[in-house]
Structure formats: C-alpha cells, structure tokens
Amino acid sequence: MRTYLLGIDVGTTGSKALLIDPRGAVRAGVTTEYELRTPRPLWAEQDPEDWWRATVNSVRRVLRQSGATKEQVAGIGLTGQMHGLVLLDRWGMVIRPCILWNDQRSAAQCGAITKAVGATHVINLTGNPVLPGFTAPKLVWVREHEPHAYRRVAKVLLPKDYIRYRLTGEFFSEVSDASGTSLFAVGKRRWSDDMLNALKVPRAWLPDVTESPVASTKVGRFAAQQTGLLEGTPVVGGGGDQAAQAVGTGVIADGTVSVTLGTSGVVFAASDKYRVEPRGRLHAFCHAVPGQWHLMGVMLSAGGSLRWYRDALCAAETAAAKRAGRNVYDVILGPARRVPAGCEGLIFLPYLAGERTPHPDPNARGVFFGLRDSLELMRNLGLPLKQVRASGGGAQSALWRQILADVFGKPIGTVNVTEGAGYGAALLAAVGVGVHRTVADACRRSVRITSTTKPSEAVRVYADYYARYRELYPTLAKQFASLSAVVNKHLEM
C-alpha cells in the first residue's frame, strides 16, 4: 500500500527530503548541504547540479532511514528558494550558475523594466515592484552582460522546478513560485503577456503553470534509478518556500499570519482575494491554496543578522560555547534576556544584504543606531489579523517569541510542525494524490497550536521605539546610495 508522502525542499543551504505518513507524522528527514558562492559583493550564485546531487543523496538516505520502500511513496511535493534564475539550453543543460534570490546585482535592470512598463502597471499586473531579488531583472542582466550565454537560452526555470525537470523530464511550475518572477499576472494566476512582450521574453522559454496541489508530472526512469524512487510516482506542483511553509504551519485562511525567523525574516498573511499595496511595499503572490493569495513582507537579514553578530563580534562567546558543549546562540542570548526593552536607545537597521520590505533598496546597509513595518502595511490594506504563528530557527527562542509578541502587540503561537517548507510540500503532495481532499483538510488533520506567548507591558516601549526606527531609513537612504557608488567605483578600477 502506498502510504507515505515525500517533500523535497531545495533550500539556500541544502536540499532536504522529508517523509510523512497520511496523518502528518514525520517518519524521517535528511538534509544534504551545498555551497553558496559570492564571486563579487552583492552577488550570490549556486550550481544547480549541486542541488540535484544533494537531492539524490537526501532522497536515498530518507528512504533508507525510514525503512520505507519506493512502492510506499504515494506522491512527491516540491518546494525551495524562490526567484532564482536557472537557464537551460536546447539540450536541457545548465548554461551558467543560478543567480539566487539574495543577489542584488540587477538594480539598474529593475529601473529600466519599471520605466518601460510603468511603475503602477507593473504593481497592478504582478502584485509587486520589480526588485533585484526577482527573476526577470536577472534575466535582463544576463542579456546585457553575458550575451553569449543569453543566445543559448531555451528554458527559464526556478530552482525547485529545475529539480522537477531532473526528476520527471518535464517543464512545469506552479502559481506561488511563478508569482515571484515579475513575469506573472498574479491576479489572473497566469504568465503576463504584457510583461513578456515588454521584456521581449519568449513564452516558450517558460514552463507551464498549474495550481500547487496538482499532480502534473511523474518520476522518470533515469531519475528513479538515481534516487531509488519508483518510476511513475506522481509529482505535484508544490510551492515556493514561503507558501509551502505557510501550508506547513496552517496559515491558509484569510487573516491568519505567520512570522518566519530564518536567514531572512518573513511576515506572511493569507488572503481570500487579490490585494495589492499601492506602492508595492508588500509582496502580493498567489498562495499554494487554489483560489487564495497571500501578502508578504521580507527583511533579507533576520536570523542572518544574529549570525553576522556571532561571526563578527562574538569570538569569545563562540569559544566558551565550544568548551562547554553548548549552543553558541544560547550563550549569546543569555545576557540579552536581562536587557530592558528598547536597549536604552540602541537600534539596529538589519540591512546586511540590501533590503526588500518596506524599502526595496539593494544599497541599504546595516547600521547600529524590523519586521513590524510589514504588519502595519497589512493592517492598512484592511486585512483582518486574527492569529500570528511563529516558525523558523529563531522561533525556537522564547526571548525572540516574547519580543515578537511585544512588537506586534499580538499573541504569538507556535505549532507542532518544525520541519518548514518541506512539510508543506509533503501536505500538498497528499492533496495532489487524493490522501486529503483539500489543503484545508490536510492542515486540519496535521497542524495544531502547541504554545502561545502573550504580549507584555513592553508593548508601549516598542511602540515608542518603532516610531524612531521608521525615521532612520529615509534619513540614511542618500548616504546608502552614495556609499554604494563609491564601493562599486573602486571595485571596477
């Protein structure tokens, strides 16, 4: 009997394979890591072949670890890092390394696209401004800077959809991931002819798009031999990492909100209709739930800021943690618990890799002098904020959960699921192969609240500091741009 569902998450640091049973219980999970390359400042690339090798390894190991046979895997769901540009030639071979979501090289191309199409029209069509993290400006950058590579392009894929191609030999995507390309009409849930025509991108380069729980392809013979999966196993559309993460934490109904504290920080709200923030300060994407959308605010450095702090300033704490056999973050955060809210006026702007929400500025820099901006923008759109759920590595910290509750002024819940986007991909697979009737059914049977952190009296303190925080970026924006120009000038000399 085919009883297990497999989620594959092609992340920024590794590829994870997760096996669950029909009740949502995790049977096994394996992650295989790979390298992130930064050949120049603000650049970020990976070799898609590394993703495939890691995926093969993770799938083989998760089957072995769980004791499941290939015949017992009923379906596969895919998720992964969004926005990455994978270019294939007519033989299906990768042309150049993938330009990743956190790459900031294409700021000039974003401006040119916006000017050509019109800022308001772009936002109305795609739900977002054109940002350096998105796929289309990366493609234009390749056309302008690597014409030899551009002339070879036959297919443009997103990271998880490259793995789908390697698994199945087919070119497909789904609505949630396609929403982050700047080539997708998000309100209509299809590729945008206006954007494709303006950028002179052939429609034939792009994969067909389905809804996220649809089983559109099947594992091919060669991939079955490599991975140990059964040839013909259904592969569903899946979802971009944030949409799949939301499914995995049950954030699928209008007004439910999740906060994910990973390398980046994400505030994600489900919506039963297509809502657009007029100035593009929130991302509006299709949800992985058919007929649903979501609003999302992204700070590129959240947990990444703590990692930077660890690496740059905490050599002594790192050594002490190693000697004591403790988690270094427990050592670092211990004294923070004794610091009063507001830190006596110390404010950190966490712009270590540029920024996306609410300031789409690749030149923004980290400054010692927030996720709350995104929640305020959602409130302004009339979205009912009924429930906030926290996930990601940072959500494991009671201190961070309390700070979130105080900053948002809302109770923060955690759920029984800690496996991230891969879990959501597995639930989408369960819907795609008929184990569950709908995504809502899958979430009801698998996800539950396990703890709640209520706001404290510090709410008033953070409200005062938040007003000061919001004043800092506009004051420093010109200095950020000036500094970036100087840095680039000397890099080119």
Active site residues: 241
**Rounded Cα distance, 308 and 353, in Å:** 11
Burial of 313 (0-12, 13-18, 19+ CB in 10 A): exposed
Q: Edge-to-edge strand order for the sheet containing 256-261?
A: 283-286, 293-299, 265-271, 256-261, 387-391, 412-415, 449-453
Of the candidates 77, 18, 20, 87, the one whose C-alpha atom is nearest the C-alpha of residue 47 is 87
Give me the amino acid identity at 364.
A
Instruction: Report strand pairing: 26-33 vs 14-20.
Output: antiparallel
DSSP track, 62-97: HHHHHT--GGGEEEEEEEE-SS-BEEE-TTS-B-SP
**Rounded Cα distance, 398 and 161, in Å:** 36
Alpha-carbon distances of 151 from 13, 90, 139, 154, rounded to whole Å: 30, 11, 12, 9
Residue showing tokens 């493609």: 139
Helix (H), strand (E) at residue 267: strand 265-271
Q: Which two tokens stand for residue 298?
A: 């992204």
- Map residue 271 onto helix, strand or coil: strand
**Rounded Cα distance, 214 and 238, in Å:** 8
Exposure b/e, 53-67, CB count within 10 A at least 16 = b? ebbbbbbbbbbeebe
Give me the amino acid identity at 470.
R
**Rounded Cα distance, 405 and 397, in Å:** 12
Cβ proximity of 300 and 355 under 8 Å: yes
